[in-house]
């Protein structure tokens, strides 16, 4: 049996603003942007090199959905972005003036920093330590 996560929905307030942030600031790839109706689009972005899971950018349309923008997990870190080069990607966050919530630290599992996207969601940027067998 094989299963995998295909998409994770993240509620945003504007499709184009979200696409711009994820593709221009975090350098994600826009995989799909399909118009479904006058108010709904199917928008998928993925980190460079990712092959399995995408972020589905879902525009909040009612008050309940809009109330979740930026706080889908009750102020906990929501998404975990692994990298093969922490210094490069952390510098990119700084260069793009992305809010750093927690400065880099070295933990048992790797190097990590917490940043905030333009909607207020918290992310871990992690370069995992190599596992030696």
pLDDT at 132: 58
Are 61 and 74 part of one and the same domain?
A: no
Residue 128 has pLDDT above 60, yes or no: yes
CA gap 92, 112 in Å, rounded: 14
Determine contact, residues 128/83, Cβ cutoff 8 Å: no
User: Which residue, 27, 42, 68, sits at the end of a domain?
Assistant: 68
DSSP letter for each residue of 18-45? HHHIIIIIS--EEEEEEE-SSS-EEEEE
pLDDT at 52: 87
Tell me the residue range of the domain where 41 lies.
1-68
Are 18 and 39 part of one and the same domain?
A: yes
Check which CATH number belongs to the domain holding 130 and give it. Answer: 3.10.180.10
Q: Which helix (H) or strand (E) holds 106?
A: strand 100-107
Are 131 and 84 part of one and the same domain?
A: yes
The per-residue pLDDT for range 84-106, each reduced to its tens digit, is 999 999 999 999 999 999 999 99
Residue 133 has pLDDT above 90, yes or no: no
The per-residue pLDDT for range 18-76, each reduced to its tens digit, is 999 999 999 999 999 999 998 899 999 999 989 889 999 999 999 999 999 998 898 89
Are 1 and 51 part of one and the same domain?
A: yes
pTM of the model: 0.91
């Amino acid at each position: 049996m094989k299963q995998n996560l295909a998409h994770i929905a993240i509620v945003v307030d504007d499709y184009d603003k979200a696409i711009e942030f994820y593709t221009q600031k975090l350098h994600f790839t826009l995989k799909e942007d399909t118009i479904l109706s006058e108010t709904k689009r199917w928008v998928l972005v993925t980190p460079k090199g990712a092959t399995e899971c995408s972020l589905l950018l879902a525009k909040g349309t009612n008050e309940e959905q809009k109330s979740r923008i930026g706080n889908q997990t009750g102020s906990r870190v929501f998404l975990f972005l692994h990298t093969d080069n922490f210094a490069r990607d952390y510098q990119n966050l700084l260069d793009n003036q992305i809010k750093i919530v927690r400065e880099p630290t070295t933990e048992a599992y790797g190097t990590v920093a917490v940043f905030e996207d333009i909607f207020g969601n918290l992310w871990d940027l992690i370069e995992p330590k190599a596992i030696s067998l």
